[in-house]
Homo-oligomer: A and B are copies of this chain.
Amino acid sequence: MTPQRVTLITLGVADLERSKAFYGAMGWRPAREMPGEVVFYQINGMALGFFGLASLARDQGRPDAKLGTGATTLAQNFTTKTEVDAAYALALRSGATALKAPEKVFWGGYSGYYADPDGHVWEVAHNPFWELNADGSLTLPAHAD
């Protein structure tokens, strides 16, 4: 049995310095770095890293693969709609591409999407049914039976 665990999210990018500048403009600070090779950020419960697209394809054992984005999204949940709007606006000011401005959505929450400079898709959301832990992590509520 394989544990329900992720220890590292890696985003393949065209230009590490551009990625550092984009996430840095949103306030992110790297925890570890091999300049020109890889940059790691500490997030809740795991690391998030940036790695060159060609290096990532080689590492995956398929150096000629054209790696794609969009089918994986990373969501940041916030405790208020105001915070969602602020995070979305900050991302656009930092150079993100707008996909969908935050709006009320069918499941009862409030959500928007943007893409980072490499097309990696981020959701910013408020879900009134999911309360965040004090450290910003998320424990799914138990089934309502």
Q: Which residues of A contact B (CB under 8 A)?
A: 1-12, 26-29, 31-32, 40-48, 53, 56-57, 59-62, 65-77, 87, 90-91, 99-100, 105, 111, 113, 118-121, 123, 125, 130, 132, 136-141, 143
Q: Which of A7, A29, A70, A111 has the most CB of B within 10 A?
A: A7
The quantity of this chain's copies bound in the complex is 2
**Complex Cα distance A68/B48, Å?**
19
CB distance from A96 to the nearest CB of B (A): 10
CB distance from A89 to the nearest CB of B (A): 10
Instruction: Report B-chain residues with C-beta under 8 Å of the C-beta of A12.
Output: 70-73
Instruction: Report B-chain residues with C-beta under 8 Å of the C-beta of A74.
Output: 6, 8-10, 72
